[in-house]
Amino acid sequence: MPTKVLRDPGHVDALAILLKARKLPITVTWAQGTSRSSSQNRLAQRWFTDIALQLGDQTHEEVRAECKLTIGVPILRAENEAFRLSYDRTMKHLPYEEKLAAVKAFDLPVTRLMTVKQMTDFMDQMQRHWIMMGVRLTDPEALKYEQEFT
């Protein structure tokens, strides 16, 4: 599905021109805010690895799927009606293990759909959960410092 972030009034006009050129019918959806930042994405990926390495019995992808399902899905279900309707129709009725397998197998778009605010909430909840479980997560400031020298 195409996505366009509108940052100024000229972008609205350009989108109107684009939409007028499309064959009807079309469906248009929008969300307030912008998608997650690349720094948030890098940190989340690092945390998935941190968790997997410290747990020792899960892969990066398994941790990622678990976090998407247990933390990300509730955020999106609460704040994204299109996601909620689709998720509820296709996955809500499944047992937890089947949901987890589906999230992993189909790379269910969860964090990809999040705004910066939603991704911040996801990261905050993820940090609270895993720190309570005794997992040490990469400090975001240390990651910034590390990136300056790579």
Average pLDDT for the chain: 88
Most confident of 11-15, 42-46, 54-58, 136-140: 54-58
- Using pLDDT thresholds of 50, 70 and 90, give the confidence band for residue 125: very high
pLDDT confidence of residue 54: 97
pLDDT confidence of residue 49: 97
Tokens found for residue 19? 């939409």
Phi (first) and psi of residue 79, to 5 degrees: -120, -5
Nearest C-alpha neighbor of 3 from the set 87, 82, 84: 82
Distance separating alpha carbons of residues 97 and 99, to the nearest angstrom: 5
Distance separating alpha carbons of residues 21 and 92, to the nearest angstrom: 37
pLDDT confidence of residue 39: 80
Give the 3-state secondary structure of residue 27.
coil
